[in-house]
Amino acid sequence: MGFTTLAYHVDGRVARIVLDRPGRGNGITPVLVAELAAAVEQADLDPAVHVIALSGNGPGFCGGYDLVDSAEGMAEGSAGAFSAPAGSPLDPAVMAANHDPSGTWDPTVDFAMMRRNVHGFMALMRADKPVVVKVHGFCVAGGTDLALCADLVVIAEDARIGYPPARVWGSPTTGLWARRIGAQRAARLLYTGDLITGTQAVDWGLAVEAAPAAELDERFEALVGRIALMPLNQLRMMKLLITQSLFGDGLQGAQVLGTLLDGAARHTAEGFAFQQRAAEAGFKAAVRERDAPFDS
């Protein structure tokens, strides 16, 4: 199929998925999520593919949800960056009515919308084949859901990764932080919204390898190539064994809770104030003001 938000091609035994919205920090939209799931399925069904390599075009891997247009436009009743069939949970009119602080919040519509995003992210984990992610520059907010749903993360030493929306207006929907790095380190990140470097990410068990930025591509390709040498049937069995340990550990329930809390976080008094400030001064300005107390 043709893709508009990402690039897909097969290189020998490797299916390469590249997020391709560099002008928006590879920001996540419903279209991107749907195309990501479709690309993963395409790779899964291709008998030539042994491993899936996920990366991002531009200055960073992924800056999270593309919220600039939606946050700034809510006061005017528009969800800006998003588009979907009329009447669906992703219809801009439905989203705007659901998230506009001046209107009534329907948590079931919110949940239906965000659950579809979680389903798309989890395509990486549900894939029969290993998924290896290359992180450069930044991997923040919803972008971390992509990294956490993958099997292996190779990261630049100077990259920054974390979940700043924990400070206001967000909750991790995939519920994987504690499972990936343990409860105490997850608490350290989610109780502050702080970012860590790629070097720290390896120390904390979030990534398998960190490399100087100039060597990142080489190290990533070396690992992907080594995995590609494995028989496909062995890779499928090993991935099934590993992912079942996660699925059997209450992950589904954690994702339901995380998705509901994400909606709630956008409708607290602080969430309303943040959205209103984004509408007045711009989303980036609102984020800078949110993060200013943590910069010292």
Mean of the pLDDT values across residues 123-146? 98
Q: Is residue 86 very low, low, confident or very high in pLDDT (cuts 50, 70, 90)?
A: very low
pLDDT digits (tens, 9 = 90+) for 2-39: 899 999 999 999 999 999 999 999 999 999 999 999 99
Residue 95 reports pLDDT greater than 50: no
State which H helix or E strand residue 8 sits in.
Answer: strand 6-11
- pLDDT level of residue 212 (50, 70, 90 thresholds): very high
First to last CA, the chain: 48
Mean pLDDT of the 73-78 span? 45
Q: Please tell me the distance from the alpha carbon of residue 274 to that of residue 290, in angstroms, as a whole number.
A: 8
More confident residue, 78 or 264: 264
| Mean pLDDT of the 248-266 span | 89
Structure tokens at 158: 């100077």
pLDDT of residue 102: 63
- Residue 185 is predicted with a pLDDT of 98
- Which domains does the chain show, CATH number per domain? 6-212+232-290 (3.90.226.10)
What is the per-residue pLDDT for 93? 43
Q: What is the pTM for the complete model shown?
A: 0.89
Cβ neighbours for 121, distance < 8 A, ≥ 6 positions apart: 33, 36, 145, 146, 149, 173, 174
pLDDT score, position 19:
98
Question: Highest mean pLDDT range out of 74-83, 197-206, 239-248?
Answer: 197-206
* d(C-alpha 63, C-alpha 229), whole Å: 32
Does the structure show a pLDDT above 80 at 103?
A: no
Average pLDDT over residues 215-226: 98
- Cβ-in-10-Å burial (0-12, 13-18, 19+) of 218 comes to exposed
When the pLDDT of each residue in the chain is averaged and rounded to a whole number, the result is 89
pLDDT bin (cut points 50, 70, 90) of residue 69 is low
Query: Which tokens belong to 100?
Result: 């506009």
Give the number of residues written for the chain: 296
Token pair of 58 as six digits: 């531009």
Query: For the segment 51-62, what is each residue's pLDDT rounded down to a tens digit?
Result: 999 999 999 999
Least confident of 128-132, 197-201, 273-277, 285-289: 273-277
Half-sphere exposure of 288 (CA within 13 A, CB side): 5
Structure tokens at 223: 């690992």
Report the 10 Å Cβ neighbour count for 261. 15
Residue 96 pLDDT level (bands cut at 50, 70, 90): very low
Q: pLDDT tens for residues 147-192?
A: 999 999 999 999 999 999 999 999 999 999 999 999 999 999 999 9
Q: Report d(CA 286, CA 276) in Å as an integer.
A: 9
